[in-house]
Amino acid sequence: MGRLFGTDGVRGVANVDLTAEMALGLSVAAAHVLGEAGSFEGHRPVAVVGRDPRASGEFLEAAVVAGLASAGVDVLRVGVLPTPAVAYLTGSLGADLGVMLSASHNPMPDNGVKFFARGGHKLPDELEDRIEATYHEHAAGEPWQRPTGAGVGRVRDHGEGFDGYVAHLVGVLPNRLDGLKVVIDGAHGAAARVSPEAFARAGAEVVTIGAEPDGLNINAECGSTHLEGLRAAVVEHGADLGVAHDGDADRCLAVDARGEEVDGDQILAVLALGMREAGTLRGDTVVATVMSNLGFKLAMEREGLTLVQTAVGDRYVLEELKRGGFSLGGEQSGHVIALDHATTGDGTLTGLLLAARVAATGRTLAELVGVMERLPQVLINVPNVDKSRVATSAELGAAVTDAERELGATGRVLLRPSGTEPLVRVMVEAADIEQAHAVAGRLADAVKSALG
């Protein structure tokens, strides 16, 4: 049996892989494990529960709330809010745990359950493993100990969460956004209301697209995985920049005034230089993953900043930020963690900080991202293969060695099993885009041959 928890919670097709019974059982297991770990000692436990707007979130939320309440946990339902909002509210309300129902950038039929510990921090692997083991133990028939009478959890809606979170976002900005016109693509997701409201309160003139969620259209040809609409809207409206979120708004990608994409590496570069100028980039260090573009690494070296690289996944970036006492890190995909203001990647905050830098400097976004030259990078997702054998296949190892020999010092190769989907990601960087495409294509074929 494979591990339920991936790099970002438990995810799968709602009502097939992730059922109401599983969501309920995982929630009860989380309550028991965190209780046994001492998280609830001496007081009645409280949980914050939020979701993105996908249709399956409605029944999964009901299951999670039922599970928690049946285990004696009081529940504050905050409704449709971004993942980082649930993390923030878990901390600001002094809750013992938070639960977010979302499959992030995945298509609408998918959904997921993500747990946060006290303070709004992601659970360590050890606690996730204990929750999973406890869930399986009781799914096999071991009865739960259940409270009765006044011991059962109480459930209430917490509608103030929206305003509290938006006020927090605007309050941490170093300067206002007056004079900027910004297009926001909410991916018909959890940020559809939050992000436009935050930008407007900060002083920006806001144009919105992807801001009419109906439960079925989340991430559909919009948001951070489909930037075409944002590019066109920025040019059409003569905006200074555009920002795009994913379904649960823990990511942000951007578009400059010309309609050119600005990825997570470039956003990190801009924010890093601004924070160094303000004296808030602790250790003059940025944390990023091995997927970061080689051009980002070269730019940081040129600017005299230290780059620490981690495995792929914002949880590993976060772990390194905490371990080293650093303040900024992120991923090329747009997960950016400003640790002084958030416990996880926050797409709305990232967009606000980027816009604030444009407003403060009076320079265009295109000028600001000119600090780094992005080397050609090709990423191919190879689905329906045995991703568990990536590191052990001799055939695949030989193909990688050949590719690295061909690229030499001017490029690199990275093969990575997805943490949330049944596929392998093939990434190739080279000084020449045609060479990158050719090498990536050959490696994708090798993955299919070796692991299919």
User: Residues with Cβ < 8 Å from 33, sequence gap 6 or more?
Assistant: 127, 130, 131, 134
The 10 Å Cβ neighbour count of residue 304 is 8
Residue 42 has a pLDDT of 82
**For the chain, percent of residues with pLDDT exceeding 90:** 82
At 377, is the pLDDT very low, low, confident or very high (cuts 50, 70, 90)?
confident
Residue 253 has a pLDDT of 98
pLDDT reading at 1 higher than 60? no
pLDDT reading at 5 higher than 60? yes
Tens of pLDDT, residue by residue over 193-211, are 999 999 999 999 999 999 9
Instruction: Render 253-276 in DSSP notation, one character per residue.
Output: EEEETTS-EE-HHHHHHHHHHHHH
* Tokens linked to 36: 């046994």
What separation in angstroms does the CA of 20 have from each of 7, 14, 17, 31, 131? Answer: 21, 8, 10, 17, 17
Using alpha carbons, select from 287, 308, 289 the residue that is nearest to residue 427: 289
Asked if 104 is an active-site residue, the reply is yes
Pick the CATH number of 377-451 from 3.30.310.50, 3.30.70.140, 3.40.50.2300, 3.10.20.440: 3.30.310.50
- Give the residue carrying structure tokens 């303040």: 327
pTM: 0.89
pLDDT reading at 4 higher than 80? yes
Q: Which amino acid is located at 277 in the chain?
A: E
Residue 412 has a pLDDT of 86
Using alpha carbons, select from 264, 251, 140 the residue that is nearest to residue 189: 251
Higher pLDDT, 139 or 198: 198
At 2, is the pLDDT very low, low, confident or very high (cuts 50, 70, 90)?
low
Higher pLDDT, 58 or 315: 58
Tens of pLDDT, residue by residue over 112-132, are 999 999 999 989 889 999 999
Residue 265 annotated as part of some ligand binding site: no
Residue 248 annotated as part of some ligand binding site: yes
Residue span(s) of the chain under CATH 3.40.120.10 come to 5-159, 164-369
Please give the CATH topology (third level) of the domain spanning 5-159: Alpha-D-Glucose-1,6-Bisphosphate; Chain A, domain 3 (3.40.120)
- Rounded CA gap, 250 and 245, in Å? 7
What would the mean pLDDT of 29-35 be, rounded to a whole number? 95
- Rounded CA gap, 438 and 429, in Å? 11
Instruction: Render 102-125 in DSSP notation, one character per residue.
Output: --TTS-TTEEEEEEEETTTEEPPH
Q: 104, 195, 224, 333: which is the annotated catalytic residue?
A: 104
In CATH, 164-369 is 3.40.120.10? yes
Residue 315 has a pLDDT of 83
* Tokens linked to 155: 């459930």
pLDDT reading at 3 higher than 70? yes
Q: Give the dihedral sign, CA 17/224/448/427.
A: negative
What would the mean pLDDT of 256-278 be, rounded to a whole number? 97
Interior CA angle at 195 toward 193 and 199, to 5°? 120
Residue 431 has a pLDDT of 83
Tens of pLDDT, residue by residue over 169-183, are 999 999 999 999 999
Alpha helices in 314-376 (DSSP H): 314-324, 347-361, 365-369
- Rounded CA gap, 26 and 9, in Å? 11
Residue 111 has a pLDDT of 98
What separation in angstroms does the CA of 43 have from each of 39, 153, 294? Answer: 9, 13, 50
pLDDT reading at 260 higher than 70? yes
**Mean pLDDT over the full length of the chain:** 94
Tens of pLDDT, residue by residue over 65-106, are 999 999 999 999 999 999 999 999 999 999 999 999 999 999
- The pair phi, psi for residue 423, each rounded to 5°, is -155, 165
Q: Average the pLDDT over each of 231-235, 324-328, 353-357, 423-427 and give the range with the smallest value.
A: 423-427
DSSP 8-state symbol, 81 = -
